[in-house]
Structure 1
Amino acid sequence: MEYIFMAARWSHIIGGFLALCVFWIPIVTRKGRKVHRRSGWIYVVAMSIVSVSALYMGIYRLAWDSSFDADDVPFSWFLIFIAILSGGAVWYGLRVLRYKTRRIGHRKAMDLLLPILLLISGIAISIYGWKIDFPLLKFFPIVGVFLGGAQLQYWLSAPTRRSHWIVEHIIGMLSCCIATVTAFTVFGAPRLLQIESVSLVVWIIPILVFVPLIIGFTSYYTNKMDGKRSAS
């Protein structure tokens, strides 16, 4: 089990480093072009590796690691939650492209399961955070609650705008970017800087950076494809 954990850890480090290197390329390049698509797929593969390895490591530490420090339990739950959030967001970002021509509600279990899991885990982790008075777990899971609910609403309702698929694709992928950078500020940056922890303010910087990007991009494409009235 220890060898599997070490393999997962190195896969997580390599995948996370790759994701941090390429995530900005699809953001700044022209949408739909070759560079955007290829860099986007690299990011998807990297984040898939990160999500699976993070989920395994979080569960392993809670269930089987005998040398595990009790003080690290909240971070293990955060690792599990960020794995669900990032995996669910990148899956959602891909699947809305697959069904961009749909005209009715979507009921496929494989697309509803992750939003439901994200919604439930967000509520549960937030309650846990309040119970143990751990600020990161109190507030960050609210992002998952919001995203899980919004994704469920999108799938279960019929699209009313032509821009629905590209708007949801942007929301899914940039939400995954929030998870990528937040995980780095929580786990990677303190180790690189050799400090025990960083301020909660630093943890929420990715949200403060990417949410305006989401608003800006979605407003632009809604305006472009549906007209100014729909965008407003």
Structure 2
Amino acid sequence: MEGLFIFARLLHIVGGFLALFVFWLPIITRKGGKLHTQIGWIYVFAMASVSITALYMGVYRLTWEPGHDPDTTAFSWFLLFIAILSGATAWYGLRVLRYKKRKRSHRQAIDYIFPILLLTSGIAISIYGWIIHFPLLQYFPVVGIFLGATQLQYWLTSPKRKSHWIVEHIVGMLSCCIATITAFVVFGAPRLLGVDSVSLFIWFIPTIMIVPLIIGFTTYYAKKLNGKPAEGN
């Protein structure tokens, strides 16, 4: 079991650094272009490995590793939440492209699993954070609660604008970038820099930086596609 954990951690590190290295390329390349698509798939596969291994490592640390201190337990729960957040946002970013021509509410049950999991886990982790007075768990899951709720709303309702699919694709993939960079700031950077503690503000810098990008890109592409009502509603 320990050997599997070491392998998962190695795969997690490799996938995480690959995601950090390439995540910005789809942002600056032409949307829908060959390079954008190819690099985007590399990022998705990297984040899939990060999400799966983070889920395994979080469960492993909570169930099989003895003698946890409170901070280790709290960070293990955060690792689980980051796994859910990164997986849910990447899946959403892909699936909205798959169903970009839909005219009515979405009927694929599989696409409701991640938003529901993201919403419920965000609520549960936040409550747990308030119980143990751990700021990172108190506040960061709000991002997941908001994204889970908006994803559910998107699938449950009929598209109102032509730009719905590209707007939601951007939201999904850039939200995944938030998970990527936040995980590095929380887990990777302190180890590389030899820092024992980091302020809550530092943990939220990725969110603070990327949210304006989400707003800017979605506004631009909504206007580019004229925001006209989708036909067949």
Q: TM-score, normalised by structure 1?
A: 0.96
Count how many residue pairs are aligned between Structure 1 and Structure 2.
229
| Structure-2 separation of matches of 1:125 and 1:9 | 23
Match of 1:197, SS? coil
Q: Does the aligned pair in 2 maintain the 1:97–1:166 contact within 8 Å?
A: yes
1:170 aligns with 2:173: no
Q: Does the aligned pair in 1 maintain the 2:162–2:227 contact within 8 Å?
A: no
Q: Compute the displacement of 1:227 (Å).
A: 4.7
Match of 2:195, SS? coil
Question: Which ranges of structure 2 fall in alignment gaps of 5 or more residues?
Answer: none
Q: Does the aligned pair in 2 maintain the 1:186–1:197 contact within 8 Å?
A: no
Counterpart for residue 113 of structure 1 = 113
1:21 aligns with 2:21: yes
Q: Judging changes above 3 Å, is the alpha-carbon distance between structure 1 residues 227 and 70 closer, same or farther for their aligned structure 2 residues?
A: closer
For 1:97-120, what per-residue CA distance to the aligned partner results, in whole angstroms no more than 9, with x for missing partners? 000000011121210000000000
Q: Judging changes above 3 Å, is the alpha-carbon distance between structure 1 residues 42 and 211 closer, same or farther for their aligned structure 2 residues?
A: same
| Structure-1 separation of matches of 2:223 and 2:213 | 15
Counterpart for residue 85 of structure 1 = 85
Map 1:207-218 onto structure 2 (within 5 A). Answer: 207-218=207-218
Q: Which has the higher contact order (CA 8 A, sep 6+)?
A: 2
| Structure-1 separation of matches of 2:145 and 2:158 | 22
Q: Does the aligned pair in 1 maintain the 2:161–2:227 contact within 8 Å?
A: no
| Structure-1 separation of matches of 2:211 and 2:49 | 24
Q: Compute the displacement of 1:210 (Å).
A: 0.4
Q: Judging changes above 3 Å, is the alpha-carbon distance between structure 1 residues 158 and 199 closer, same or farther for their aligned structure 2 residues?
A: same
| Structure-1 separation of matches of 2:32 and 2:97 | 11
Counterpart for residue 37 of structure 2 = 37
State, as a whole percentage, how many aligned pairs show the same letter.
67
Q: Compute the displacement of 1:63 (Å).
A: 0.6
Letter in 2 for 1:174: L
Across the aligned residues of Structure 1 and Structure 2, the Cα RMSD in angstroms comes to: 1.2
